[in-house]
Structure 1
Amino acid sequence: MRNSKKAVRDRVVEVYAPCVFTRSDLLARGLSGRSITRAVEAGALLRLRRDRYAYPDIAAEVAEAVRIGGRLSCLSLLVAIGIFVHRASGLHVQLAPDASRVRPPGSARTRLHWSAPSSVPAPLHAAAFEDVVRHAIRCQTPRGALATLDSLLHHRLLTRRQLATIFDGLPQRYARLLSLVDATAESGPETFMRLILKAIGAEYETQVRIEGVGRVDFVIEGWLIIECDSREFHEGWLAQVEDRRRDLAAAARGYVTIRPLATDVMERPDIVRGAVIDVMAALGMRGGRGRRS
């Protein structure tokens, strides 16, 4: 697994740690009614809405979700914990159907998800994780949703059985996505690339380890390597040097390597699909090409 600045599981713990409190919570912590009032007046404690308090270091998007009257959910929460989301814009907030005193969002880009919360206990500021995932599936394109689901399984935040339970609560039209989930995808672009390869009917393997080269994203038809380069993991000259050395080592073993840009894979899949087809047509018929991985 590629390293990240902070492990996803650590981020989950941080995001779901209690950071919004009721007046009863604060009294149980030893504060008095008068001290709560003074703390709010001094700015040491924020009153987000009726009976909802937080300390000043609370994340702005969490504070806004609670101020509106709901919980952080969907793409906003997934981005916060480091799960891949193709396009995330605006704040996503879960609101119960019977929510009262709902305040207008501060931005027109805020997305309100009116849905009954699951029976799983959740903190005051964040939706239950299964609700978050359901919202994210319905809020994205099928390809984007699949990339998110791949990321969730890859980081072991969900099992396939848990994911199947989540799909039970979705309309039937989403069922096909479940059969396409692949936990071997280490990034969103790899999911999008896999779908391109499926579309052209190519035989491929994922996360293949080649002696003298290392692990590569895809090997197609036993000879064509595809690496999904993104800025996150391929920025800087040293990373490029390592990639070029790997490509030379692969070429010495009979492989051809192409490196489509992650942005092209996700935003211009027709162009990438055409390029892969052209490479396979031009080089695939040459005898003795590559080795079966």
Structure 2
Amino acid sequence: MIRSSADRPVLPSDVPTAVLRRAHLLAAGATGRQITDAVRDGRLLRLRRDHYLPRDTDPQVCAAVQWGGRLDCVSLLRLLGVFVRERAGLHIQLAPDASRTPRPEASTEIVRHWRPTSSAADDVLVPVREALCAAVRCQRPRDAVATLDSAWHLGAVDEDGLADVFAHVPGRYRSLRPLLDQRAEAGTETLVRLMLRSLGCHVDLQVRIDGVGRVDLLVDGWLVIECDSRSHHGSWGNHKRDRRRDAAAIGLGFTTLRLLAEDILFRPEWVIEVLRRAVARGPGTTPRTVRVHNSGEL
């Protein structure tokens, strides 16, 4: 989804970069009466005094502006398609010296990040690097690694950007840097890779096996692990393709284990026990000599 420079990702069409001020609208040729009419009939949203956004703006962005801040942390990253664990609340950035912030009625929990930002005064989003710094601190370490992997893979941040992130988080988080892998195409892949690492396994990512195709994870040269989610494996056509790939892998001596995203996310203890038993059992047969294309090692 995201393919742009580190601090200027491609935004969804319903996410403007800055609020509109009355002076901006007047300078663009609108009259005071036209502004009033646009607000009255819903074409323009007046979120607080002299803070306007187009009608179709994403509701999370509108809420952040209503609360006197900018979209931040996991809320911004999720909006950009970066993997984050589902968390309650809307994360917004507020200036440390913001003494009088609006208190609109809201049923959503608001998580406030009181900190400076390099954003311009009218920006509705913080830079991605700042959001990543906040997300590292707001999540458990494994989830933070998955978020950083996802942002790196999608192009929301590059190696220089990651270096900047780790330069601005507390020192206790810097041990996470060697765990990152840009090849991870889904957060669930990262979470499973870290589980396997804790079991002492050798893991390759996005490996292409002749006769099978590309697989998510190849463990110790024999165990193929696929991390399945409804969004990518929901159709019958996808199921048929996956079953044929599994059959081809078995024919070559590999064992395939398919894990559901919901189990990886919400039953991690069960998943790691399944992995432990599978690894302890070992391969049923030694895989036949077959060309395996490694894109790198963990």
Taking structure 1 as the reference length, the TM-score comes to 0.89
| Contact 1:78 1:84 survives alignment (8 Å) | yes
- Corresponding position: 1:99 with 2:93: no
Task: Check 1:46–1:13 CA distance in 2 against 1; reply closer, same or farther (3 A cut).
Answer: closer
Per mean C-alpha deviation after superposition, the further-off stretch among 144-153 and 27-36 is 27-36
Equivalence for 1:4: none
Structure 2 Cα separation of the partners of residues 225 and 114 of structure 1: 44
Structure 2 Cα separation of the partners of residues 123 and 209 of structure 1: 47
| Contact 1:151 1:185 survives alignment (8 Å) | yes
Partner SS for 1:208: strand
Matches within 5 A, 1:261-272: 261-272=260-271
Equivalence for 1:288: 286
Greater relative contact order: 1 or 2 (C-alpha under 8 angstroms, separation 6 or more)?
2
Q: Which amino acid aligns with 2:219?
A: I
The Cα shift of 1:123 comes to: 5.0
Structure 2 Cα separation of the partners of residues 268 and 175 of structure 1: 27
Identity value in percent: 43
Task: Check 1:103–1:271 CA distance in 2 against 1; reply closer, same or farther (3 A cut).
Answer: same
Equivalence for 1:223: 222
Equivalence for 1:62: 61
Equivalence for 2:2: 8
Partner SS for 1:222: coil
Equivalence for 2:276: 277
Partner SS for 1:153: helix
Per mean C-alpha deviation after superposition, the further-off stretch among 73-82 and 8-17 is 8-17
- Corresponding position: 1:111 with 2:111: yes
- List alignment gaps of at least 5 residues for structure 1: 1-6
The Cα shift of 1:195 comes to: 0.4
Matches within 5 A, 1:10-49: 11-12=10-11, 14=13, 17-18=16-17, 20-49=19-48
Higher helix share: 1
Per mean C-alpha deviation after superposition, the further-off stretch among 121-130 and 62-71 is 121-130
Equivalence for 1:88: 87
Structure 2 Cα separation of the partners of residues 139 and 53 of structure 1: 30
| Contact 1:228 1:262 survives alignment (8 Å) | yes
The Cα shift of 1:64 comes to: 1.3
Taking structure 2 as the reference length, the TM-score comes to 0.88
Structure 1 Cα separation of the partners of residues 256 and 273 of structure 2: 16
Q: Which amino acid aligns with 2:164?
A: T
| Contact 1:78 1:85 survives alignment (8 Å) | yes
The Cα shift of 1:97 comes to: 1.1
C-alpha deviations, 1:79-128, integer Å up to 9, x for none?
A: 1111111123221111111224311251351211111112x547521112
Structure 2 Cα separation of the partners of residues 190 and 17 of structure 1: 32
Q: Which amino acid aligns with 1:207?
A: Q
Task: Check 1:287–1:248 CA distance in 2 against 1; reply closer, same or farther (3 A cut).
Answer: closer
Q: Which amino acid aligns with 1:228?
A: C
Structure 2 Cα separation of the partners of residues 288 and 38 of structure 1: 74
- Number of matched residues? 285
C-alpha deviations, 1:117-163, integer Å up to 9, x for none?
A: 12x54752111222211121111111111111000000111111211
Partner SS for 1:21: coil
Matches within 5 A, 1:189-208: 189-208=188-207
Q: Which amino acid aligns with 2:264?
A: V
Give me the CA root mean square deviation.
2.1
Partner SS for 2:144: helix
Q: Which amino acid aligns with 2:76?
A: L
Per mean C-alpha deviation after superposition, the further-off stretch among 231-240 and 120-129 is 120-129
| Contact 1:19 1:58 survives alignment (8 Å) | no
